[in-house]
């Protein structure tokens, strides 16, 4: 059976927007600010063979692992699923990310057989473990990171299994919010199911399946064409995590990219062994990084589905940082090692596609988790967020200021939402001057964000990177600023925090985050002086930095460029 191209295109658009609609339902129905405001979730649709058919533009680290999660998560349910069932799990060694990400899969039946699946993954702001927020920076085994849920029938014939729900909710600090977010995930899957069945009513099952197959084959053809344009050969790169969370030892990630006729081989041989800190990245996270980078460096109009994966062979030695074995802790691998994986891949691709690769972005998600007992109602509260930083400069364009980069695609949680729900008062939220790396095209600047704790006490966890190793520049561009995290006590004492730690905070303590900037791209001396003046006027670059890094002298009284001084400075630096 052959289909006309118009039908295939209509089905493709319908599936893609159905996944987007699923996300809208999930966001609007969720209880927690982390999902409702920061939008930390992802939605997808799969065909009857458990192959990715369509995805929304959500979180890269979720999306690249979803096919692995669906295939592994459904293994034990062959022939055991009924209409109205949904499978829930969060075991990272099955789901492909970390414990706070709860995956929910809904089989879609038509005339008593499964014709497709809707699935989503959402980050819950607490799933138990040793610290509120389930993101302890010093965990040594996965059991300290939260409750582990193997694939179970959480929903049976459209009803939540109360016994399974009771076990889950008894192991988290905020059960009402967790259940509300799970119901939002259910609603999203039901919307996906509805949209798929509408396509069946219009075209029939056979046409739908054939269209899905055509869409995947189309993506494969286009991806192979993109790969075939790349120069043949092998290209290697390496980068480091600055510590493990339990030791100050740096951990190496090494990748070798081999390009054949129309196939890529990504090999992580040479990467360090897994560690006893929370920065191990399960296989799904590693796959996500590869798929994301390919998406960035090839044609963005290629539909993202199973076909895009076919030209890529990924080799990751078991027992290493990028493919650990249980019970290694992995909370930070999903959020921090995933970012460094992208940095390593981009370093390697800079040798292959130099005009398409950006300088290093902030290289961290700045994970902050805090929680305790609310004295007003006697209930536990937990808050989790990631914070934006600088995007690296690119050929022909500056980096982006204060944005979530690479493997995260979330929003900043609005201050108003946080203060409404949690015992926290914000004191500062602004762009961080001088944090972007200098370059012909500068790196984006980070943020400075601080808040005061209003509750009597709480536990604070930081899980971050790039406080010791700066985000690198490219082709003469300078590095971005390193991140900083510290607490200011009521008496004014300032306590610097490690990039991975769990500490107690008391009422009146002020927590300060300064996020890294992106690296610069190209020689800073080639930057247009008028652009430097613009950066100074907008508080992104100081007068001192303008002269030091760019050789641009600006009169502090008139805020105009002193062209004579600028020319002298540049001439002096060139000689």
Token duo for residue 333: 């691998």
The DSSP bridge pattern shows strands 264-267 and 312-315 to be: parallel
Report which of 532, 521, 530, 526 is spatially closest to residue 570, judged by C-alpha positions.
Answer: 526
Asked whether 142 and 134 are in contact (CB, 8 A), the reply is no
Rounded-to-integer distance, Cα 144 and Cα 25, Å: 32
Tens of each residue's pLDDT in the chain, 575 residues: 578 999 999 999 999 999 999 999 999 999 999 999 999 999 999 999 999 999 999 999 999 999 999 999 999 999 999 999 999 999 999 999 999 999 999 999 999 999 999 999 999 999 999 999 999 999 999 999 999 999 999 999 999 999 999 999 999 999 999 999 999 999 999 999 999 999 999 999 999 999 999 999 999 999 999 999 999 999 999 999 999 999 999 999 999 999 999 999 999 999 999 999 999 999 999 999 999 999 999 999 999 999 999 999 999 999 999 999 999 999 999 999 999 999 999 999 999 999 999 999 999 999 999 999 887 778 899 999 999 999 999 999 999 999 999 999 999 899 999 999 999 999 999 999 999 999 999 999 999 999 999 999 999 999 999 999 999 999 999 999 999 999 999 999 999 999 999 999 999 999 999 999 999 999 999 999 999 999 999 999 999 999 999 999 999 999 999 998 898 888 877 76
Rounded-to-integer distance, Cα 539 and Cα 535, Å: 6
Q: 283-297 and 60-73 are packed helices; what angle lies between their axes, rounded to 10 degrees?
A: 130
Q: What is the DSSP string of 366-397?
A: -EEEEEEEETTTTEEEEEEE---BPPPPBTTB
Rounded-to-integer distance, Cα 385 and Cα 410, Å: 10
Token duo for residue 130: 């040793």
Rounded-to-integer distance, Cα 554 and Cα 552, Å: 6
Q: Is 25 helix (H, G, I), strand (E, B) or coil?
A: helix
Asked whether 45 and 196 are in contact (CB, 8 A), the reply is yes
Residues 6+ apart with CB under 8 A from 164: 88, 152, 153, 154
CA 391 to mean position of chain CA atoms: 14
b/e per residue 278-310 (b: at least 16 CB within 10 A): bbbbbbbbbbbbbbbbbbbbbeeebbbbbbbbe
pTM: 0.96
Rounded-to-integer distance, Cα 100 and Cα 335, Å: 11
């Amino acid at each position: 059976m052959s289909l006309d191209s118009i039908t295939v295109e209509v089905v493709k658009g319908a599936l893609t927007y159905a996944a987007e609609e699923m996300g809208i339902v999930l966001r609007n129905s969720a209880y927690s600010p982390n999902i409702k405001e920061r939008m930390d979730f992802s939605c997808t649709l799969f065909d009857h063979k458990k192959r990715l058919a369509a995805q929304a533009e959500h979180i890269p680290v979720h999306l690249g692992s979803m096919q692995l999660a669906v295939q592994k998560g459904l293994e034990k349910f062959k022939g055991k699923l009924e209409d109205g069932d949904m499978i829930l799990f969060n075991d990272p060694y099955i789901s492909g990310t970390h414990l706070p990400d709860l995956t929910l899969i809904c089989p879609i039946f038509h005339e008593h057989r499964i014709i497709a699946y809707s699935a989503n993954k959402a980050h819950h702001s607490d799933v138990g473990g040793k610290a509120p927020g389930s993101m302890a920076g010093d965990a040594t085994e996965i059991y300290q990171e939260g409750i582990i849920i193997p694939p179970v029938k959480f929903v049976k014939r459209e009803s939540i299994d109360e016994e399974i729900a009771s076990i889950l909710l008894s192991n988290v600090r905020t059960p009402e919010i967790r259940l509300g977010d799970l119901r939002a995930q259910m609603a999203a899957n039901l919307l996906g199911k509805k949209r798929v069945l509408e396509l069946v009513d219009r075209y029939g099952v056979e046409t739908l399946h054939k269209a899905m197959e055509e869409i995947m084959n189309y993506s494969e053809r286009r991806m192979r064409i993109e790969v075939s344009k790349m120069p043949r050969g092998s290209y290697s790169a390496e980068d480091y995590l600055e510590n493990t969370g339990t030791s100050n030892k740096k951990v190496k990630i090494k990748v070798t990219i081999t390009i054949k006729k129309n196939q890529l081989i990504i090999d992580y041989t040479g990467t360090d062994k897994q560690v006893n800190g929370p920065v191990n990245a399960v296989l799904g996270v590693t796959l996500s990084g590869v798929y994301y980078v390919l998406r960035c460096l090839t044609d963005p109009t290629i539909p993202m589905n199973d076909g895009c994966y076919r030209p890529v062979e990924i080799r990751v030695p078991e027992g290493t940082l990028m493919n650990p074995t249980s019970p290694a802790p992995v909370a930070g691998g999903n959020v921090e090692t995933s970012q460094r994986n992208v940095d390593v891949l981009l370093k390697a691709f800079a040798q292959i596609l130099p005009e398409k690769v950006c300088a290093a972005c902030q290289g961290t998600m700045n994970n902050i988790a805090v929680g305790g007992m609310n004295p007003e109602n006697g209930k536990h509260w937990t808050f989790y967020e990631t914070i934006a930083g600088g995007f690296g400069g690119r050929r022909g364009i500056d980096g982006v200021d204060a944005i979530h980069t690479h493997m995260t695609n979330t929003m900043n949680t609005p201050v108003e939402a946080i203060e409404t729900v949690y015992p926290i008062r914000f004191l500062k939220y602004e762009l961080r001057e001088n944090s972007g790396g200098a370059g012909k095209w500068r790196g984006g600047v980070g943020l400075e964000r601080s808040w005061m704790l209003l509750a009597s006490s709480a536990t604070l966890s930081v899980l971050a990177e790039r406080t010791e190793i700066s985000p690198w520049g490219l082709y003469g561009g300078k590095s971005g600023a390193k991140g900083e995290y510290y607490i200011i006590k009521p008496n004014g004492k300032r306590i610097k925090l490690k990039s991975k730690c769990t500490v107690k905070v008391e009422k009146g303590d002020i927590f300060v985050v300064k996020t890294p900037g992106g690296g610069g791209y190209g020689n800073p001396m080639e930057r247009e002086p008028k652009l430097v003046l613009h950066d100074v006027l907008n508080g992104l670059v100081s007068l001192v930095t303008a002269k030091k890094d760019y050789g641009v002298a600006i009169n502090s009284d008139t805020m105009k460029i002193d062209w004579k001084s600028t020319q002298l400075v540049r001439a002096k630096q060139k000689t």
